[in-house]
Structure 1
Amino acid sequence: MANIEHLGLLQAGAVRWLEWRNTNPHIAPDLSTADLQKHNLRGAHLQGVNLSKVDLSHALLVRADLSQANLNSANLHQAKLSEANLNAAQLSVADLSQAILTQANLSHSILIGSNLSEANFRGATLIAANLIGTDLSNANLRDADLDAAQLNRAHLCFTNLIEANLIETNLSEANLYAADLVGAYLYKANLEKARLYKAHLSSAYLFRANLTEADLTGADLGWANLKGANLAGANLTNANLRGANLAGANLTGVNFQNAIMPDGIRHD
């Protein structure tokens, strides 16, 4: 339940709120469960604030500082968070569907089980973010930095990951059905048992990636760099590998049925 005094100070305006926060740095504001939908909180100083279960749907939070804030179970549907600072924020089971987070900083944030479907993360920084079990279907993560992020069992169907940085990202058992990973950087990424059915991976950098038992049925891997990758037990039925680099890759038990091989010849 929100602290009435804290809520009143926030609603009194940015100047009053900042003045109070600077005067009382030891107090952790409690705005939990408050109705702040459609509020204009552009550039607001909300670092470390308890915003759990708050309704911030359609709110304006451009360049807001939400670092280390508690936003667990918050409603941020269609919220505008471009260039917002969400470093180390807690966002588990939050609703960020259709939210705009372009150029936002979500490094080290925790988003376990959150709804991020159709959200726009273009150019966002999500280094070491915990996105286990999140729904990122149809989301835009083009040019996003997901270095060392945890995306185990995440839903990334039809997600735009063009030229995204996925170095050492954990995507084990993730569903990447028809995801667009053209030119994505997946050096040493973990894609064990991932579903990459009909995924677009042309020109992707998969050097030393772990694709053990991954389902790459019908995937486009044209001109992809799979040098040193582990593809043991992977399913590449009907996949396109034209021009792909498989030097030093582990191909033990791989199913190449009807796949187009690097030399352009279709495998029996």
Structure 2
Amino acid sequence: MNISHLLRQYEQGHRDFPELNLAGVDLSKVMLISVNLTKSNLMGINFSRGFLTKSNLSQASLNWGDLTYAKMSESQLIETDLTKANLTGAFMVKSVLRSAKLSGANLSYSNLRGANLSDANCCGANLQEINLREANLTGVNFNWANLSKARLSCAVLKQASFFGSNLTDAFIKEADLSHTNLEQVNFQNSRLSYSNLQGANLQGANLQGAKLRYIDLREANLQGANLRDADLEGADLTNAIVDNADFTNATLRDTKVIGTQLKPQTIQKNLSELQLKRNPNYAGSFELLSTSYAVAVFNKDNSLSC
């Protein structure tokens, strides 16, 4: 089917066009709402600024396609191949991209709020300043992806993989990252307040300057993590592993560290006179379970009283 015949059929009310071969064609600024293009060959297609709202492109080949600023909200892209596709600025609110192939794709500045990307492959993708608020990101492969300044608030991120990814300056408030592998991930200056990272692996992670207020880090592995200048007010580090973690100049007001062995020198290197003492009345203080570690109470101005 050529382009003119397709558009004529669409104008006559037809919406079912499965398994078409439209590889490399120019459909920029074209409106095809609620169409069925499942299993179609759309490789290298130009659909820039087009409308595919509520359409079905499941199992279609869109690799290397140009979908910049396309309107694709509430569309179905299940198992769709979008490898190396350009989706810069695309509007894909509440779309379904389960098991989609997005490796090397450019989704910078796109809007996927409330979308379902469970088990999608975003390895090496450019997701800079993407909006993924309230999205289902269960099991997504974000390895080596650029998520700087991405918005992930209230997203479900269970079993997602972030090895080598960049999350600097990201907004991740109230997100579920429990039991997620975040080893060596760069969270510098990110905002993770009120998020759930219970049992997460944060070995060697960079959390310098991050906002971690009232975050759940119970039983998390922070071994060797960089938490310099981080804001941990109200955070819960109960039974967390903090060997060789650096808390220099971190804000620790009302932080719970029950059962966590936190060495004095990891809090602030200048605290040479920190006394070893146990505080029987736990109220926003460190209560550590070994006499070789400190119990410290931080005042509201973040000064230390032992």
Report the TM-score, using the length of structure 1 for normalisation.
0.92
What's the counterpart of residue 50 of structure 1? 41
Q: CA deviation at 1:267?
A: 3.0
**2:192 is equivalent to residue 189 of structure 1:** no
Q: Distance in 2 between matches of 1:30 and 1:264?
A: 59
Where in structure 1 do 4 or more consecutive aligned residues deviate above 4 Å?
15-19
Q: Distance in 2 between matches of 1:39 and 1:80?
A: 10
Match for residue 221 of structure 2 among 221, 230, 243 = 230
Contact 2:246 2:267 in 1 (8 A): no
**Which runs of structure 2 are paired with 1:6-155 in the superposition (5 Å)?**
6-14=2-10, 18=15, 21=17, 28-155=19-146
Aligned residues: 258
Contact 1:6 1:29 in 2 (8 A): no
Q: Distance in 2 between matches of 1:181 and 1:189?
A: 14
Residue deviations 1:85-131 (CA, integer Å, cap 9, x gap): 00110001000000000000001001001100000000001000100
Q: Distance in 1 between matches of 2:33 and 2:126?
A: 26
Rg comparison, structure with higher value: 2
Identity of aligned residues (%): 35
**2:169 is equivalent to residue 178 of structure 1:** yes
Q: CA deviation at 1:6?
A: 4.6
Q: CA deviation at 1:18?
A: 4.5
Match for residue 202 of structure 1 among 193, 196, 203 = 193
One-letter amino acid of the counterpart of residue 185, structure 2: A
Contact 1:99 1:119 in 2 (8 A): yes
Q: Distance in 1 between matches of 2:145 and 2:76?
A: 23
Q: Distance in 1 between matches of 2:15 and 2:74?
A: 19
Contact 2:216 2:236 in 1 (8 A): yes
One-letter amino acid of the counterpart of residue 84, structure 2: V
One-letter amino acid of the counterpart of residue 107, structure 2: L
Q: CA deviation at 1:12?
A: 2.2
Q: Distance in 1 between matches of 2:223 and 2:6?
A: 56
What's the counterpart of residue 258 of structure 1? 249
Q: CA deviation at 1:192?
A: 1.1
Contact 2:235 2:255 in 1 (8 A): no
Give the 3-state SS of the residue equivalent to 2:267 in structure 1.
coil
RMSD over aligned Cα atoms: 1.7
Q: Distance in 1 between matches of 2:49 and 2:15?
A: 23
Give the 3-state SS of the residue equivalent to 1:12 in structure 2.
helix
Q: 5+ residue gaps in structure 1?
A: none
One-letter amino acid of the counterpart of residue 182, structure 1: K
One-letter amino acid of the counterpart of residue 110, structure 2: A
Q: Distance in 2 between matches of 1:223 and 1:264?
A: 8
What's the counterpart of residue 267 of structure 1? 267
Residue deviations 1:164-212 (CA, integer Å, cap 9, x gap): 1111111121111110001011111121111100000100100111111
Contact 2:141 2:161 in 1 (8 A): yes
Q: CA deviation at 1:13?
A: 2.5
Contact 1:202 1:222 in 2 (8 A): yes
Q: Distance in 2 between matches of 1:262 and 1:116?
A: 38
Identify the structure with bigger relative contact order (alpha carbons < 8 Å, sequence gap 6+).
1
